[in-house]
Amino acid sequence: MSALGAIIARDIRLAFRAGGGAAQGVTFFALTGVMFALAVGPDIALISKIAGPVLWTGALLATQISLDQIWRADREDGSLDVLVETSDMLALTALAKAFAHWAATALPLIIATPILGVMLNLPAEAYAPLAISLAIGTPGLSLIGCIAGALVVSLPRAHLLIAIIVSPLYVPILIFGSGAAMSDVGAPQYGANLMLLGATVLFAAILSPLASAAALRSNLD
């Protein structure tokens, strides 16, 4: 247990120190929001209507571009071999890595969401659904992304390949997450979307560690 804690603490520390990607992820997230607004034009009513889905898509893309680093950094400095050789249950290690990735990339995004929400004129009643759906859904993005990162870890560069592999698997999370973000608290769709989102993420929490561990083993032998 303490080993898993150490892995999580180490990954988060690495992400927030110099050379880590945490700040870049938030910057990218903000930029997607800006790009959407620039593309749509200064029609404030339209922007405010699509703000929720735009922020959800931005969070998804910002998570996606950082997936390649989950395992690659460890592979490059050799610590991945140690992780695979020494851990009794590689699947639990993978779960810890996914959690650390979430804490280092998605959590800053959720914290930055209100600022971007103001800029995109997000309706006041939409803040809570957006934040809650992001908080429940983004761990699923990290979990599924963890599998994709493990699959391509032995390849030299794989940003695009990861995006191709992972996007279809992200479809349910995007649909339920964005669906909850766009409905009012208390509306029947809101609860249903959140519950389905939670179920999808829990499902990923079981599938992802096993698949990631299998992929890592296949990549290192």
How far apart CA 7 and CA 19 sit, in angstroms, is: 18
21 vs 140, beta carbon nearer another protein? 140
Q: What angle do CA 78, 79, 84 make, to 5 degrees?
A: 110
Rounded Cα distance between 198 and 193, Å, is 8
Q: Containing H/E element for 186?
A: none
Q: Which of residues 126-155 bind another protein (CB under 8 A)?
A: 147, 151-152, 154-155
Stretch that binds another protein, among 40-48, 83-91, 95-103, 175-183 (CB under 8 A): 175-183
Residue 167 binds another protein, judged by CB under 8 A = yes
Q: At what angle do helices 127-151 and 69-76 cross, to 10 degrees?
A: 40
DSSP element (H, E) containing 87 = none
Closer to another protein by Cβ: residue 29 or 176: 176
Q: Which stretch binds another protein (CB under 8 A): 3-11, 84-92, 130-138, 157-165?
A: 157-165
User: Binding segment for another protein among 7-15, 85-93, 103-111, 170-178 (CB under 8 A)?
Assistant: 170-178
Q: Is residue 187 near another protein by the rule CB under 8 A? A: no
- CA–CA dist 164, 27 (Å, integer): 23
Contact (Cβ atoms closer than 8 angstroms) between residue 187 and residue 125: no
Which residues of the shown chain bind another protein in the complex (CB under 8 A)? 147, 151-152, 154-155, 158, 161, 164-165, 167-169, 171-172, 175-176, 179, 189, 196, 200, 203, 207, 211, 214-215, 218-219
